[in-house]
Amino acid sequence: MLCGLLTPTSGAATVASFDVFREREKIKANIGYMSQKFSLYPNLTAIENMTFYAGVYGMKRKEIQIR
């Protein structure tokens, strides 16, 4: 929730002065997050893991391919 990936169900929180309910995109744009080794899917290749996480962050397929 604090990284802006999940929507909170109750309570209040801010990250880098941004509200986690209303400003999720601003949070994601202002913080860095890289999952640790245990969070990566071992059955996926490195590129498949990066593509998956890029999708989680809302990148369009075309943009992912370009980058």
Please give the pLDDT value at position 40.
81
Q: What is the DSSP letter of 38?
A: G
- Per-domain boundaries in the chain: 1-32, 34-67
Q: What are 2-59's pLDDT values in tens digits? A: 887 788 889 999 999 999 999 988 888 888 776 666 678 889 999 998 998 888 888 8
pLDDT band at 63 (very low <50, low <70, confident <90, very high): very high
Residue 36 CA: distances (Å) to CA of 8, 24, 40, 49, 59: 22, 21, 7, 12, 21
